[in-house]
Amino acid sequence: MEFQYHPASGRQTVAAISLGARGERLLVFAVAVAALLAISLWWTVPAVLARASREAGSPTISGELAAARAEEARTRQLAARLAGRELAWGDKLAKVAFLYGVAPSGWPRVLDPARDTLTGSDLERLALGLPLYLRGLEKGLELLAAKEQEDPGLSQRTPSIVPISGAVYEPAAFFGPRVSPWTGQEEFFCGLDLAAPEGATVTAPAEGRVVFTGRARREIAPRLWQFGSLVVLVHGPEAATVYGHLSRIEVRRGDLVRRGQKLGAVGKSGWALSPRLHYELWKPQGGAWRPTDPRFAILDQRLDAPYRSLGQMIATSAPGPPERLPGLR
Going by pLDDT thresholds of 50, 70 and 90, the confidence category of residue 83 is confident
pLDDT over 80 (residue 77): no
Partnered with residue 282 across adjacent β-strands are: 240, 291
Are the beta carbons of 164 and 200 closer than 8 angstroms? yes
Q: What is the pLDDT, as a whole number, of residue 119?
A: 73
Residue 100 lies in a domain: yes
- The alpha carbon torsion through 254, 203, 283, 187 (nearest 10 deg) reads -110
| Nearest Cα residue to 11 out of 304, 308, 298 | 298
* 19 and 142 part of one domain: yes
Of 123, 150, 177, the residue that ends a domain is 150
Q: Which of 75-84, 97-106, 230-239, 276-285 has the lowest mean pLDDT?
A: 75-84
pLDDT (tens digit, 9 = 90+) per residue, 159-172? 999 999 999 999 99
In a domain, 15, yes or no: yes
Average pLDDT over residues 174-183: 89
Given a cut of 90, whether residue 276 has pLDDT beyond it is yes
Assess if residue 146 is contained within a domain: yes
Q: Which of 288, 275, 283 is nearest to 244 (CA)?
A: 275
The answer to whether residues 113 and 255 belong to one domain is no
Strand 208-215 and strand 186-189: pairing? unpaired
Q: Is residue 190 part of a domain?
A: yes
Domain boundary among 94, 125, 150: 150
Which is more confident, 228 or 324? Answer: 228
Give pLDDT, residue 323: 85
Same domain, residue pair 20 and 124: yes
Same domain, 122 and 201: no
Q: Express each pLDDT in 194-223 by its tens digit.
A: 999 999 999 999 999 999 999 999 988 999
Distance of CA 228 to the CA centre of its chain: 28
Q: Which residue has the higher pLDDT, 11 or 46?
A: 46
Answer whether residue 118 is part of any domain: yes
* pLDDT tens by residue, 20-57: 434 544 454 455 455 555 445 444 444 544 555 555 55
Q: Identify the top-confidence range among 134-143, 174-183, 258-267, 319-328.
A: 258-267
Give the pTM: 0.83
Please name which of 289, 324, 2 lies closest in space to residue 158, comparing C-alpha atoms.
2
Highest average pLDDT, of 136-140, 229-233, 299-303, comes from 229-233
Q: How many domains does the chain contain in total?
A: 2
One domain, residues 264 and 198: yes
Same domain as 297, residue 173:
yes
Q: How confident is the model at residue 58 (pLDDT cuts 50, 70, 90)?
A: low
Establish if 159 belongs to a structural domain: no
- In whole angstroms, give the CA distance from residue 29 to residue 108: 22
Answer yes or no: do 140 and 169 share one domain. Answer: no
Question: Strand ranges (DSSP E) for the chain?
Answer: 4-6, 11-13, 164-165, 170-173, 176-179, 186-189, 192-195, 201-203, 208-215, 229-234, 240-244, 246-249, 256-257, 262-266, 276-285, 288-292
Q: Do 256 and 135 fall into the same domain?
A: no
Residues 282 and 244 in one domain: yes
- Looking at residue 82, its pLDDT comes to 80
Rounded to the nearest 5 degrees, what angle is found at the Cα of 178, between the Cα atoms of 229 and 90? 90
**What radius of gyration do the chain's Cα atoms show?**
24
The sign of the torsion formed by the CA atoms of 232, 288, 191, 147 equals: negative
Specify if 325 maps to a domain.
Answer: no
The verdict on 145 and 192 lying in the same domain is no
Give residue 200's identity as a one-letter amino acid code. A
Among the candidates 103, 124, 150, a domain finishes at 150
Residue 322 located in a structural domain: no
User: Are residues 29 and 133 located together in one domain of the fold?
Assistant: yes
Report how far apart, in Å, the C-alpha atoms of 206 and of each of 149, 217, 223, 251 are: 18, 26, 25, 15
User: Distance from first CA to last CA of the chain, Å, rounded?
Assistant: 32
Domain that holds residue 202: 164-315
38 and 141, same domain (yes or no) = yes
Distances (CA, A) of 90 to 199, 234, 274: 35, 27, 36
Instruction: Give the three-state DSSP class for 48.
Output: helix
We report the CATH number of the domain holding residue 245 as 2.70.70.10
